[in-house]
Chains A and B, each alone.
Chain A
């Protein structure tokens, strides 16, 4: 029953297009039954998983590549699948209200369903290659979602950034996963997870880890790749709520958590994750505190929480695993609620700017209560689920095996982050609901939205309170199963609100006290000049793209500037370097000089006339002279064929030579009379040097290869089988018409095409007006030696 869960979402996505019709909010809630069904289907599979087993389904897809469509459900997958489908249900219903006035809703929901299917594929895949396919599909579908409002340049920019960053990371990830598969000899997650010791001892382990982490860090917006996530806020709010609370960005975290039993336990993995995650967490929390846009604020807190999850995977241990699982759930609940609430406020007030909001408590009391609940969980205030999660994070930092320094740093980072979260939450709440309504926003009529729109944020916000109070036992079972998958061994987990007085509680409480005490300075902090705003990754990235494009254009302009001789020069120089240098280093020794005793004087004469004819052609002062000199060269080539046992070639060559000469005379007689040099002396000398080098290289190559007998010749086969199989005594002819008959067919085709071309050139355009040549000032380095002479 696992692959239907993935495929129903993918296959049903076009169904969402009916939401183009009016009564959109109603249709959207109807469509919400699709993810709800998937949620139910997932729950039916939960029984054995919670008991500590795995559900595995396998379809052979491309057996030769080890590409199986394996789907596995374990605790971690279950947790993610429930979050994706559960929040997905609420988001689809909510989107119907949020985009109710937009006829593109159908398209939007279709993308959303596709994305949901891809995301389910990522978390349920039991094979790394299957997972990678779905992973890339999430990148593509999130591009469509972020760029949904494609009329806006910012939306396109945000979508492009997210696609380039996550897609680029995806390439690194693919190589990393292939390395992993090579080391283990299987692409199944269960084999990889079982081969942990073998992997860690392998020489390719560091390379694989770095590549996989590149993929995960880009996807999960870790420093320095974090900048795409705020840009992705251009997506319509329902998409942001889905992508950034529960799904897309957590894919990287999911993969790190999934692989940590196999790859973790080394300094490379643990310390990298702890340090990068911790830095991302603290940095983004401080930036979030200073934002004025509701969604930007939430975006940075999301980056911060992704950092926190990464850090906990690195910190490891029992509490690390529990902390990751619990924080994933807690964050998904409160953050999806907050995003949807930001959408509600934006929808009602027409702005998300904290400076233009305020005093909404009288107009939107229900919204205020739900926001308060979600913010309390976000701030980690006791009795909320966020508090339980934060305690575990602190425990993970206190109990880590990575040494005292990292432990203290992690605790300090968590404390700073917790304070920043409180201030962020306070600013969000007080600037929106408290105080006076801003005069600028007074024109609009503002009140609570329809109840349907509040279901979306309401359910997760209330769950944030209910889980610790009522549902702690069943959720503990789920978290236990999930953290066992992260830890690699079964775990006993009992989530609790009260652990007694311990260091974690003390840190947490003091952070709350400091945070609350700083509320009155919140706005000063936000308006303070300077720090962390300067780190504008998106600007740097834009410039990087721009530079790449101008660089590519400049390179093309240099290499392909439209003149044949420049192309030839570059080709010749490239060949001189890439063939000449290896030839001088390795090939020169292979040349053997043994003078042939049978050498005849007429052979020498024929061969010597070729260079003489070549020089004569180049030096010829008249066109006729050049044609005669080329004719001599051709005749001498034919003579060489006669002398060296190739009568057929000699015959053909002579015949063709006569024809060519006639054609040359015909055509050259109508071309301008001039036959002098266009180029300056300097250019001629340069070209002569290149040409001589080319000649020496080719001559040397002939000497080196012709005296080499490392390959068995093919000739005996043709000589022996000619009469027997080809029924002919002239072996060359038999080869042409029999053994390699298709070559001859190709040759005839080429001749025919040339004929058609010649016919077209000479006949078809005759009588029509000729194109007048466009005289563009030439940028050539050599000036024209004389005005162009026109005969017509």
Chain B
């Protein structure tokens, strides 16, 4: 099943790269969302193997079920999901605001302040 995840991650990274390279702010934001999905899945594969039917819950005696999934990567991803949501919300607000100020969603119109 790792091959499935590899294809999913590869397509998420590829699509994200393409969208981030666009000039439209909207596409940039979509690309960032896609990138965070890709990164989350990437972390998911980095643990102690990807397994079916073994959520990391221990029984009353403190023993994990056989074939339990890696809880650490899940904890890391949980943090990552929430942070990427916060980030997306901020970028959306930024896009809204910059559109108000500059009247454009073309990144090339917004680049004047830091051009050398």
Contact = CB atoms under 8 A, between A and B. Distances in A.
Interface of A: 553, 556-557, 560-565, 568-569, 572, 593, 596, 598-599, 603-604, 607, 610-611, 614-615, 617-618, 623, 626-627, 630, 633-634, 636-637, 640-641, 643-649, 652-653, 656, 659-660, 663-664, 666-668, 670-672, 674-675, 677-679, 687-688, 690-692, 694-700, 702-703, 705-707, 713-716, 718-720, 722-724, 729-732, 735-736, 740, 743-744, 747, 750-751, 754-755, 757-758, 761-762, 765, 770-771, 773-774, 776, 778, 780, 782, 784, 788-792
Nearest to B5: A702
Nearest to A687: B21
Contacts of A718: 56, 71-72
Given A618-B18, A697-B10, 9 more contacts: A564-B107, A649-B81, A698-B9, A706-B2, A758-B89, A770-B101, A773-B101, A773-B104, A788-B103
Interface string B1-36: 111111111111111011111111111111001100
8 contacts: A645-B53, A645-B54, A660-B85, A687-B22, A695-B11, A695-B13, A747-B82, A774-B112
Contacts of A731: 56-58, 64, 71
A698 B13 contact: yes
Contact of B77 (A565, A593, A649, A702): A649
Given A671-B96, A679-B23, A688-B18, A648 B90 contact: no
B34 A614 contact: yes
Given A565-B20, A698-B10, A672 B104 contact: yes
Interface of B: 1-15, 17-30, 33-34, 37-38, 40-42, 44-62, 64, 68-72, 74-79, 81-83, 85-90, 92-97, 99-109, 111-116
Contacts of B41: 637, 640
Nearest to B104: A788
Given A706-B45, A723-B62, A788 B109 contact: yes
B111 to A, nearest CB: 4
Contacts of A648: 55, 74, 78
A614 B15 contact: yes
A700 B113 CA distance: 39
Name B's interface SS. helix
A762 B116 CA distance: 29
Given A646-B44, A788-B104, A565 B21 contact: yes
Nearest to B87: A754
Name A's interface SS. helix
Contacts of A645: 50-56, 68-69
Contacts of B42: 698, 702
Contact of A691 (B17, B26, B57, B76): B17
Given A568-B17, A645-B51, A776-B112, A715 B89 contact: no
A723 B57 CA distance: 10
B71 A715 contact: yes
A623 B103 contact: no
Contacts of A722: 58, 62, 71
Given A645-B51, A757-B93, A736 B75 contact: yes
Contact of B9 (A674, A699, A754): A699
A640 B58 CA distance: 22
Contacts of B116: 553, 556-557, 560-562
Contacts of B111: 562-564
